[in-house]
Amino acid sequence: MTAYTERSQGSPWADFLSEQAQVLSIAFFFLVCVVFFAMTTDTFMTLGNLLNVIRQAAPILIVAVAMTFVIITGGIDLSVGSQVALVNAVAAIALAAGLPWPVVVVAMLCFGALIGLGQGWFVAYQGIPAFIVTLAGLSMLRGIALYLTQGYSIPIKGVPGFFALGRGELFGIPVPALIAIAVAILGYVVITSTRYGRQVVAVGSNMEAARRVGMPARWAIASVYVVAGVASALAGLLIAARLGSGSSNAAVGFELQVIAAVVLGGTSLMGGRGTIVGTILGTLTIAVIGNGLILMHISPFFTQIVTGAIILIAIWLNTRIFTANFRFGFARGNRP
């Protein structure tokens, strides 16, 4: 009997490196940014500023965790910014109408899920590319928000319980940051250790295989848009609570920040590969850059240029590092 070949077994360390290369490189990038701003500004490393950074990063992180799920399935959700704005506006209208805030919060989360379900249905069951469906969503949902508010900002008054969501602190940590951390931990556990998470990865990795082994492949795809909808609704509520108003002009360009954070964290746009840890680091990197450049008194317009350039460089480095390991890992294998 022929002994089985063991040709492609490298050292476990090389495997670990190639698997974690993305996260390690973004972690390195994050540390470089932190050190740079700590040295160039006096205020960056103060507790107050760091709390401010995580308070502002919270909505992005919440949606980025959900976006990681979407991108792992090989999809994308461009409509999250518009969803945030719509929920933001509708929540303000509902609160202004005198509805109790816990009811509004629950209703808005359900509303987000419903929007996500609609988009997910088109993507998963009707086979329309996610890019198209959510691009339409981006336009329509923002449009609805504008129509409902007629472009005005709607003030929210006299609901301290609601404001605590955006402005409160618990043990000295801002409530939005605590919520975001909870969401990130939940996302990490779900994607790594639950059957649902396994289905999401399988669908993104090999749709056909997932379908053949009897996984609910279509539902897995539709569900990630529901997750994104709920996360967007949560982010919209936190922003409304922090600013004390609801506006159809909230979260413009939000989807790009979110997608940038996820991609910066090493999640592959081709699907299958992605980590929540990478997404957290990607989000923090973008937040730190934005904050640090402002502290350095650099024009806010410049922030966008730098953020874009850093995304490009980081992903370029990522790709190079990953490719090097890829070759190393498969050098003696026989796959093309």
Partner 1 sequence: MSDRQQENAVAVGSGRVNPARNGRADGGRVPRIALRDIRKNFGSLQALRGVDLDIYPGECLGLVGDNAAGKSTLTKIISGTYIPDDGTMHLDGEPVRFSGPADARRRNIEMVFQDLSLCDHIDVAGNLFLGREVTRGPFLDRKTMLSEARKMLDALEIRIPRLSSKVAQLSGGQRQAIAIARAASFDPKVLIMDEPTSALAVAEVEAVLSLINRVKATGVSVILITHRLQDLFRVCDRIAVMYEGTMVAERSIAETDLEDLVKLIVGEKDER
Binding site for partner 1 (CB under 8 A): 1-10, 12, 15, 18-19, 189, 193-195, 198, 201-202, 204-206, 208-210, 212-215, 272-273, 329-330, 333-335
Instruction: Considering the complex, state which of residue 215 and residue 240 has its C-beta at the smaller distance from partner 1.
Output: 215
In the structure encoding, which two tokens stand for residue 108, read together?
């808005």
Instruction: Considering the complex, state which of residue 17 and residue 145 has its C-beta at the smaller distance from partner 1.
Output: 17
Cβ-Cβ contacts under 8 Å for 69 (sequence gap 6 or more): 187, 191, 200, 224, 227, 228
**Min CB(138)–partner 1 separation in Å:** 28
Instruction: Considering the complex, state which of residue 204 and residue 282 has its C-beta at the smaller distance from partner 1.
Output: 204
**Min CB(201)–partner 1 separation in Å:** 6
Residue-wise DSSP of 282-327:
HHHHHHHHHHHHHHTT--HHHHHHHHHHHHHHHHHHHHHHHHHHHH
- Does residue 292 contact residue 32 with C-beta atoms inside 8 Å? no
Cβ-Cβ contacts under 8 Å for 209 (sequence gap 6 or more): 202
**Min CB(76)–partner 1 separation in Å:** 18
Instruction: Considering the complex, state which of residue 257 and residue 267 has its C-beta at the smaller distance from partner 1.
Output: 267
Continuous segment of H or E residues that includes residue 220: helix 217-243
In the structure encoding, which two tokens stand for residue 13, read together?
């360390």
**Min CB(216)–partner 1 separation in Å:** 10
CA angle 262, 283, 259 (to 5 degrees): 30
**Min CB(219)–partner 1 separation in Å:** 13
Instruction: Considering the complex, state which of residue 155 and residue 333 has its C-beta at the smaller distance from partner 1.
Output: 333
